């Protein structure tokens, strides 16, 4: 007889593998995702998932996965808070833009992001930083 796990929690979210926006249900027990299913009422995927969407969730608990930001201090990477990391990025971006101009930056968007996330990326590149140096991996 096969033992059936009962999830402690089922979390509905968006699949991270492409920009289609398929809805997935993460079945969680003991803080581990042990199963992924697709809700039938999702207008994008109607209960269907590709192989990556259904079975590609092992990265969630991989031991090499970064869980906190790292900042290089005195040549060593050290854990930092999100506020420290974002402040450091803002400071360095400001310095680079002042010293080298906007075209010292380049942005590379991802097919794993939604269309909306990629739209925000190009807005950041063009309107905040002031560069048209933006590319996308979906055309490779």
Which residues of the chain, if any, have pLDDT below 50?
140
Burial of residue 99 (CB within 10 Å: 0-12, 13-18, 19+) is exposed
The structural domains of the chain, ordered by start, are: 9-61 (2.20.25.90), 70-139 (no CATH)
Residue 58: what pLDDT? Answer: 83
Question: Would you say 61 and 32 are in contact if contact means Cβ atoms under 8 Å apart?
Answer: yes
Beta-bridge partner residues of 13: 24
Q: What value does the mean pLDDT of the chain take?
A: 90
pLDDT in tens, 70-95: 999 999 999 999 999 999 999 999 99
Tokens of 130: 């002031």
């Amino acid at each position: 007889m096969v033992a059936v796990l009962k999830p402690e929690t089922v979390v509905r979210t968006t699949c991270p593998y492409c920009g289609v926006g398929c809805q997935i249900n993460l079945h969680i027990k003991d803080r581990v995702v042990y199963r992924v299913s697709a809700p039938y009422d999702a207008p994008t995927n109607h209960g269907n998932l590709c192989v990556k969407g259904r079975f590609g969730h092992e990265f969630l608990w991989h031991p090499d996965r970064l869980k906190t930001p790292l900042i290089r201090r005195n040549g060593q990477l050290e854990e930092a808070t999100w506020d420290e990391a974002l402040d450091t990025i803002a400071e360095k971006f400001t310095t680079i833009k002042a010293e080298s101009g906007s075209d010292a930056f380049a942005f590379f968007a991802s097919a794993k992001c939604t269309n909306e996330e990629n739209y925000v990326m190009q807005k950041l590149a063009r309107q905040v930083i002031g560069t048209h140096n933006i590319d996308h991996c979906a055309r490779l």
